[in-house]
Amino acid sequence: MKSDSGASTSPWMASARGTRRTPLAEDLTADVCIVGAGIAGLSTAYQLTREGKSVVVLDDGEIAGGETGRTTAHLTHAMDDRYVELERLHGEKGARLAAESHTAAIDAIERIVRDERIECDFLRVDGYLFVPPGEDRALLERELEAAQRAGLTRVELVSRAPIAHYDTGPALRFPRQAQFHPLSYVTGLVQAILRDGGRIYTGTHVDAVEGGDEAYVGTSSGHRVRAGAIVVATNAPINSRVLIPARQGPYRTYVIGARVPRGSVVRALYWDTADPYHYVRMAGDLTNVSPSELLIVGGEDHKTGQADDAELRYERLESWARERFPDIDGIEFRWSGQVMEPVDALAFIGRNPLDKPNVFVATGDSGQGMTHGTIAGLLLADLIQGRENEWATLYDPSRVTLRAVGELAKEDLNFAAQYVDWMTRGEVSSLDAIPPDTGAIVRRGLIKVAVYRDERGELHERSAVCTHLGCIVGWNSGEKTWDCPCHGGRFDCYGRVVNGPPKHDLGLVSRPSGGVRDPSHAPRSS
């Protein structure tokens, strides 16, 4: 399966059958129009079509062609930001609701897998949280107490995680977590949605979202979908220019898939408390022909667009993994994904702030996109149907978390600092210095230009100014994309938008000799 969001390939992409639909070719009317065919959008569509609602799903690329195919698919209620922090930010009730909702999401996935007979390697496993060498182990005791106050009474402190050749020291065991093959699961959702009357269109770029009595979603082809309710589930929302982007930070996270002898690693989820933390799981043999299994190890996060050293990060991941799992035979996969981190650690799911009440968003995966996306399906179905849901206030995109003011200030300062890039020199002084299949920022008078030289040596030029809020993009050599360091907007090597919040491609630029660079020769990503 091809990805819309980068050059690297995850094992899910390599082993999944592509689920492709046709572009929208006419005006339509539906009860609900959903923008985004990843885990959040499709989970919402599944819940609504099961209740008899007419649903249209639109996606710019392929089904699950964005970040859903780049997850490591840990299904867990062991929260990424820890219950100690959730309790500080949201109180004991908020922490309890977070635990309850993520537990319900895992249970919902298990139920859907059973009811729809989806073959996606769903497996219940334990999860283990441990501290890195030299870190205070009292953190585990505090987290245990907070988790149990949140209702996770079966969480326990054990002497070590079951890693054969590495003594982690004391660890927290979270029972009945789970894992699965995310793209196989999504394929099952798609089949169920279509069976129940849902309509899904790919290769359809949305450029307008209008709520109210005459709500509609507009596309670049000129076709519209009129709907009673609209859900924007695009990883980063394309219909919130400032309010939501200012309250979440985009991060790139890196993953390797290593071959290990079958049975050499206990099937479980593993996490340490490093900053950034590491996360580990097994995936079995996705090809069903190898005597080995795939060990998946992730970490080495950094702010999107604020580093370009993927090779170094993959090397550090491999070194970390080999120290703990010395049976590694070789590295088969290396890929990265984008994580949206809200300043108060929980997703934004609900009515879009300052918008008409029938426009909804789902964003802020906080490193747990599979469960947050499933929560979105459960919660948004209730909100659209006018039902009460106890989780609504916790995930409300309009919420104000006073105890997260410090985190919000840090995000705002980081955002403001990126505008310094307008004043710096270009990365190369001559276009001749750009190797094939590489990009670089070039200063041309008062403007900056994003220049990509393709594998044939031909140059492709676009404005380096992100079409969201005007920051200067940077080249991502690992994924062959232009990434914005402010709010995580991403564009392919030819300047076409692949990740919100921007809705529009990078702008055209004038040639040094006059005229405009014609981008029509750039191959389409389809």
pLDDT digits (tens, 9 = 90+) for 27-39: 999 999 999 999 9
Q: pLDDT (tens digit, 9 = 90+) per residue, 113-163?
A: 999 999 999 999 999 999 999 888 999 999 999 999 999 999 999 999 999
The mean per-residue pLDDT over the stretch 1-27 comes to 88
Task: Please state, for a pLDDT cut of 90, what percent of the chain lies above it.
Answer: 85
Instruction: Supply the DSSP symbol for 188.
Output: H
Q: Is the pLDDT of residue 342 over 70?
A: yes
pLDDT at 411 over 60: yes
Give the lowest-confidence range in 342-351, 416-425, 439-448. Answer: 416-425
The pairing of beta strand 447-453 with beta strand 438-444? antiparallel
- Count the neighbouring beta carbons within 10 Å of the beta carbon of residue 475: 23
List for the chain the helix, strand, coil content (%; round to 5). 30, 30, 45
Give 407's pLDDT tier (boundaries 50, 70, 90).
Answer: confident
Residues 415-453 as b or e (16 or more Cβ within 10 Å = b): beebeebeeeebbeeeeeebeeebbbbbbeeeebbbbbb
CA distance 302 to 308: 10
- pLDDT tens for 278-315 read 999 999 766 555 678 999 999 999 999 999 999 999 99
The pLDDT of residue 511 is 66
pLDDT tier for residue 406 given thresholds of 50, 70 and 90: confident
Range in 27-31, 193-197, 244-248, 336-340 the model is least confident about: 244-248
| CB-count exposure of residue 107 (10 Å: 0-12, 13-18, 19+) | middle
Query: What confidence category does residue 54 fall into, taking pLDDT thresholds of 50, 70 and 90?
Result: very high
Residue 298: per-residue pLDDT: 98
State the Cα–Cα distance between residues 345 and 339, nearest whole angstrom.
12
Highest mean pLDDT among 18-27, 223-232, 438-447: 223-232
Which of the residue ranges 58-67, 308-317, 509-518 would you say has the lowest mean pLDDT? Answer: 509-518
Using the predicted structure, report yes or no on whether residue 81 has a pLDDT greater than 80. Answer: yes
**Ordered domains of the chain (ranges, CATH):** 121-179+249-342 (3.30.9.10), 423-511 (2.102.10.10)
Per-residue pLDDT at 516: 46
> Model confidence over 435-467: pLDDT tens digits?
999 999 999 988 999 999 999 999 999 999 999
Share of the chain above pLDDT 70, in %: 93
Q: Which two tokens stand for residue 307?
A: 């580093």
Spell out a b/e string for 240-260, using b for 16 or more CB atoms within 10 Å of the CB, else e. Answer: beeebbbbbbbbbbbbbbbbb
DSSP per-residue letters across 479-513? TTEEE-TTT--EEETTS-EEESS--SPPPP-B-TT
For residue 134, what pLDDT is reported? Answer: 86
Could you tell me the pLDDT band of residue 520, with boundaries at 50, 70 and 90?
very low
* Token reading at 61: 């690329």
Task: Determine the Cα–Cα distance for residues 515 and 526; give it in Å rounded to an integer.
Answer: 28
Residue that is written with structure tokens 């919000």 in the block: 408
> What tens digit of pLDDT does each residue of 475-515 get?
999 999 999 999 999 999 999 999 989 999 999 997 665 44
pLDDT tens, position by position, 375-394: 999 999 999 999 999 999 99
pLDDT for position 446: 87
